[in-house]
Structure 1
Amino acid sequence: MVALETIGMLKIDLLGLRNLTVIADALELIKANSREDLQLRLDLERLPLDDPKTYELLRAGRTTGIFQLEGAGIKELVRNLAPTEFKDIVALLALYRPGPLESGMAEEFISRKRGRRPITYPHPELRSILEETYGLPIYQEQLLLMARVLAGFSLGEADLLRKAIGKKERRTMRAMREKFVQGCVQNGISTEKALDLFADIEKFARYGFNKAHSTAYALITYWTAYLKANYPTEYMAALLTSVADNTDKIGEYVQECREMGIEVLPPEINESDLYFTAHDRRIRFGLGAIKNVGRGAIMAILEARRGRPFRSFLDFCRRLDPQKVNREVLESLIKAGAFDRFGTRKGLLKQVEVGLELAQVASEERRSGQRSFFAWDEEELAPSLVLELEPGEKEEEFPQEVLLWFEKELLGLYVSSHPLLEWEEELRHLCSHSLNELEDIKPGEAVHLGGRIDNVRVITTSKGRRMAFVRLEDLKGKAELTVFPDLYERRASLLQEDNLIYLLGRTEHRQGQGGQVGSGRDQDQVRVQVVVEELYPLEEAARMLELRLLLPLEEVDEPFLERLRALLRASPGETPVILHVKVSSDRPDLGGTQELIKVGEEFSVRLTSRLLEGLEGLLGRSRVNLVHRGRSRSQGRGRGRSQRGK
């Protein structure tokens, strides 16, 4: 760079962002879903930057899929900063970097913004420059203006100072310090104060971020947040299309859709397009998501469907070119559920041979120009022939676990359901993190995780002992686990594909090549693995939780207890219930004491959203707590009850 600058050349960085494609695709979906007489035209350049729904979404930390705001760390910063206007987003992106975070500047900024600490300025003359950032110089442009106002630097000289500090050019910094002090003295500032101000500039220059860069990114951040807040179905469909070749990301975004109340549906032969489509709070998988179904076959299907929808499985076979839709394509479409409206998958698979023969005959007749009964609509066929060819609608179906396995095999993830859905509440309270949050965790940090084993690879060490590498998945992501020989020998029986497990472990970072598309960060991607220290079956781990209910004695009467018993009995399970009976401190004979009462095993419960919401309605949220083996969820766990539903 220095050599290029010396000879007068200009360096230009060109950055491609997938997020811009997501925005363009979302706008197309929004336009397609608008009534013709009310065709919606969103002009991004004219979007209001004060949309209440957008800032409500940001303050809630629902930033999955939002440009630059997806990681667990920045989600926490967003919630703490609680943005209320566009300049807060600009500041947010500037603050979420190692320097401001580690130096405490980000925390100081939030405290000043929220009125917890006073706003002060290094010098009264700097108020106009630093007022928008609560007295803290977080942008490089502010540092340039500080040097200009205090010491009379030109903007060129101020930029040289910034570069010298950033690159630690000591000789240039000494010269700049002398010039800065001289300029301050000429402006009536004492030498001592000038040195203090230069020290401030020197400190902040290490953390300052380019405001123009942050503003440009903040605008894309706002656009994506606006679309997610106001057109959630269309935006999430576009987002899913953008990661169509990344099943981990698709799984994360599908779970986000579920939490937003958006139904994600498997592919359907008469409704699916090439990519994900959106309509009425429903997103439909595209045919392009199905393994073994290539673009050529899909385009042939869409072309054949253009005139009218397919009316049956055999109608589909009759109208498609067998050279483009072969046996593998047909079986993959059936297994993925694309033909579910026409019969069971088990029954349809039995008809593949008949369908292929029909396709071949119909294709040959189209080429030869002959006309036979294949040229007629099915309504005109003899009823006996229809019964002979058409699969019975009442054919027995595969078990649910087989259907889910088909989805996993052909779509890369579970769509219609998930083996972990019935354990969602237990996982929410047992686990310290979701698997998609691990990249933001420091190396060596203890984690408590749970999920389904997706893959196991067992190796033999140089000492002849066996160990395993395991891929674990939960409802939001996947993680790589390492199980060393001592633990493997004790827990090998648990390490089987499809088993549901709970583990204690520590994170380990490994450097790899590449980076996230659209992240805007030029750095090697860090792969996070978890070294497992202990393993349990998930069902056994559920018994590690205790449900503790605080009952003020003065509020307890028979109707109250009957309602409590009814709630507990309606959700039988393995989690024990402990009652904290609190005696009011205004009883001088008893004082303010608590009695712990463990209720009988017949009242042990299965944690569900319905149960917890019922208890919170009866007792109040603060009186319903989950304790993990004698340790409160609030102690270093980071995912307490206060974040349910976020």
Structure 2
Amino acid sequence: MEITSNTYLSLLQIASKMAGFTLGEADLLRRAVSKKQKDVLEKEKVHFVKGAQRKGYHEKTANEIYELIVRFANYGFNRSHAVAYSMIAYQLAYLKANYPLYFMAALLTSSIGNTGKILQYIQELKQMNIELSPPSINQSHYFFRVEKNKIRYSLVAIKGIGGNVMREILKARNQKKFEDLFDFCIRVSPKIMNRKVMEMLIYSGSFDEFGEDRATLLASIDVAIQHAQLVHPEDEEQNDLFSEDDFFFKPKYVEVEPLKVEDKLALEKDALGFYLSDHPVSIYKHHQAALQTTPINEMELNKKQRSIVYITELSAIRTKKGEPMAFIQLSDQSGDVQGVVFPIVFKKYQDLLTPGEMVYLEGKCEERNGNKQLVIQIVESMGTIVQSLPKKEHKLFIKVMNEEKMLNQKVKLLSIMRDFPGNTPVIIHYEETGKNIVLNEEYKISPSKECIAELSALLGAEQVILAE
């Protein structure tokens, strides 16, 4: 036979000339090979061998040839497709290597609506040391865009923010940037911007640049909407005397207690599908080395794992024997994984397995339905684990939104520090910029319970963190 090509065409020729297949039958075989339909390939084997024997070929030879056809199904690919895909792969690799910021921004934009893919690419950004800036009402666009050496999060990637909302925001923003929540409500049509959309923007951190805690922004939505209705009763165009900004007194924000970190992050996850600004587990990251823990996305199959995780969901069920067990959803900064707690372990640790709790786990990573699953063997509360670790030099972190907020509390804060002198350094962490400021030696403190209590009363318990 003169069959020298190594494409699917040669497969048609082999089936036709060697086994006597009609072109229609040969094409069915080709289709089974291209789609890797093993059940069809197994069925056609008998047909092929018998046809080859009728053509005078030995049964052993026919079987060997057919085995080569089946093996080809495992890796064979249409040559014209292979050339096209290889060219695309080369071009994409070139862009990623030479223009990583723009490449990753385009990749993220193409994944809007697919939370899993966006989270996957965010993990890759971290590996590439590319910073992803949070969504901003004054900076974000339809797409993920490059800003200097960072990528700015898209507003459209926030839950509930569609094209109509984005167009309305851009229309108003093109005139000038939004100054605060009240300015935003005045300038963006209430026909498009309803309460639910505003909540999602706040949850996501898009209004953080206004310098107010998200709890305050949420509490002020009704006041802002009422103020906008007063300025524009019929949502009229801003072109008359009564639409001048300085004609109406601007209301004040409704001051409320700041959101707890875990509540803030839970709402952020509702809006984005994952934690972006931080993760509840991050407050224990300085213990990871001592505990030899592994991030979720680095867990290896069939190996024992240790991890610090946040319990997001728990589903308790009963086995056929009536024994309680549970499936739990776990997360950390790197991703999510399902955990399974069998009856004996569940009975021992069920008091610790509560949604919203951070725990230390030990278990074996296995595969179930193509996904990783952690079979949990040991559970400990993080409070117990931290107390059991060797004591090291502490540092006191004080988290504030920005420098303006710091100025408002500076006098009282310094007064408390002077009342509790000691050897523990104090670090001010500005959440808006991520900047850390280490205070002078004279402000080192003794972090007693009384000291921490006074600082927490001033700033909020979640803003004061004593770390090693």
TM-score, normalised with respect to structure 2: 0.63
> How many Å apart are 1:359 and its aligned residue?
1.2
1:142 and 1:349, CA in 2 relative to 1: closer, same or farther beyond 3 A? same
Equivalent residues of 2:362, 2:376 under 8 A apart: yes
Q: 1:364 aligns with which of 216, 221, 233?
A: 233
Residue number in structure 2 paired with 1:423: 285
Q: 1:494 aligns with which of 341, 352, 370?
A: 352
For structure 1, the 5+ residue unaligned runs are 1-125, 130-138, 183-191, 511-525, 546-567, 573-646
What SS is found at the alignment partner of 1:273?
A: coil
Letter of the structure 2 residue corresponding to residue 413 of structure 1: F
1:225 aligns with 2:108: no
Letter of the structure 1 residue corresponding to residue 364 of structure 2: G
Equivalent residues of 1:469, 1:481 under 8 A apart: yes
1:414 aligns with 2:414: no
The CA deviation string for residues 350-397 of structure 1, in whole angstroms up to 9 with x for no partner, is 432331122112222663888445424x5xx69xx45xx3549x9985
Separation in structure 1 between the aligned mates of residue 290 and residue 275 of structure 2, nearest angstrom: 18
Alignment of 1:134-145 (within 5 A): none
Alignment of 1:239-638 (within 5 A): 239-345=107-213, 346-364=215-233, 367=236, 371-372=240-241, 374-376=243-245, 378=246, 385=249, 389-391=251-253, 397-421=258-282, 422-423=284-285, 426=289, 430-431=293-294, 434-435=296-297, 445-448=302-305, 450=307, 451-460=309-318, 464-496=322-354, 497-505=356-364, 507=366, 509-510=368-369, 526=370, 529-537=373-381
Equivalent residues of 2:325, 2:342 under 8 A apart: yes
The CA deviation string for residues 521-547 of structure 1, in whole angstroms up to 9 with x for no partner, is xxxxx45544434434568889999xx
1:354 and 1:528, CA in 2 relative to 1: closer, same or farther beyond 3 A? same
What SS is found at the alignment partner of 2:236?
A: helix
Separation in structure 2 between the aligned mates of residue 223 and residue 166 of structure 1, nearest angstrom: 39
Residue number in structure 2 paired with 1:185: none
The CA deviation string for residues 474-532 of structure 1, in whole angstroms up to 9 with x for no partner, is 3333222221221111011221223133231353534xxxxxxxxxxxxxxx4554443
> How many Å apart are 1:341 and its aligned residue?
1.9
Letter of the structure 2 residue corresponding to residue 318 of structure 1: I
Letter of the structure 2 residue corresponding to residue 336 of structure 1: S
1:146 and 1:295, CA in 2 relative to 1: closer, same or farther beyond 3 A? closer
Equivalent residues of 2:299, 2:305 under 8 A apart: no
Identity score, percent:
29
1:167 and 1:542, CA in 2 relative to 1: closer, same or farther beyond 3 A? farther
1:210 aligns with 2:69: no
> How many Å apart are 1:230 and its aligned residue?
2.3
Separation in structure 2 between the aligned mates of residue 215 and residue 166 of structure 1, nearest angstrom: 30
Larger displacement relative to structure 2 (367-376 or 473-482): 367-376
Separation in structure 2 between the aligned mates of residue 143 and residue 180 of structure 1, nearest angstrom: 20
Residue number in structure 2 paired with 1:188: none
The CA deviation string for residues 216-261 of structure 1, in whole angstroms up to 9 with x for no partner, is 4434433433332222222222332333333333323222212211
Equivalent residues of 2:365, 2:372 under 8 A apart: no
1:304 and 1:197, CA in 2 relative to 1: closer, same or farther beyond 3 A? same
Residue number in structure 2 paired with 1:87: none
Equivalent residues of 2:219, 2:256 under 8 A apart: no
For structure 2, the 5+ residue unaligned runs are 34-39, 396-468
Equivalent residues of 1:314, 1:355 under 8 A apart: yes
Equivalent residues of 1:453, 1:501 under 8 A apart: no
Separation in structure 1 between the aligned mates of residue 144 and residue 92 of structure 2, nearest angstrom: 18
Larger displacement relative to structure 2 (237-246 or 335-344): 237-246
1:343 and 1:430, CA in 2 relative to 1: closer, same or farther beyond 3 A? closer
Larger displacement relative to structure 2 (197-206 or 223-232): 197-206
1:147 and 1:328, CA in 2 relative to 1: closer, same or farther beyond 3 A? closer
Equivalent residues of 1:234, 1:279 under 8 A apart: no
> How many Å apart are 1:334 and its aligned residue?
2.6
Higher relative CO (Cα under 8 Å, sequence separation at least 6) belongs to: 1
The CA deviation string for residues 178-202 of structure 1, in whole angstroms up to 9 with x for no partner, is 86979xxxxxxxxx9x899858846
What SS is found at the alignment partner of 1:288?
A: coil
Separation in structure 2 between the aligned mates of residue 256 and residue 530 of structure 1, nearest angstrom: 23
What SS is found at the alignment partner of 1:409?
A: helix
> How many Å apart are 1:205 and its aligned residue?
3.7
1:326 and 1:198, CA in 2 relative to 1: closer, same or farther beyond 3 A? closer
What SS is found at the alignment partner of 1:173?
A: helix
Separation in structure 2 between the aligned mates of residue 423 and residue 238 of structure 1, nearest angstrom: 31
1:454 and 1:222, CA in 2 relative to 1: closer, same or farther beyond 3 A? farther
Larger displacement relative to structure 2 (231-240 or 354-363): 231-240
Residue number in structure 1 paired with 2:465: none
Residue number in structure 1 paired with 2:49: 173
Separation in structure 2 between the aligned mates of residue 140 and residue 571 of structure 1, nearest angstrom: 67
Q: CA RMSD in A?
A: 4.8
1:171 and 1:307, CA in 2 relative to 1: closer, same or farther beyond 3 A? same
The CA deviation string for residues 81-138 of structure 1, in whole angstroms up to 9 with x for no partner, is xxxxxxxxxxxxxxxxxxxxxxxxxxxxxxxxxxxxxxxxxxxxx9x99xxxxxxxxx
Equivalent residues of 2:133, 2:151 under 8 A apart: yes
> How many Å apart are 1:470 and its aligned residue?
0.4
Equivalent residues of 1:251, 1:413 under 8 A apart: yes
Equivalent residues of 2:232, 2:243 under 8 A apart: no
Separation in structure 2 between the aligned mates of residue 490 and residue 532 of structure 1, nearest angstrom: 12
Equivalent residues of 2:49, 2:62 under 8 A apart: no
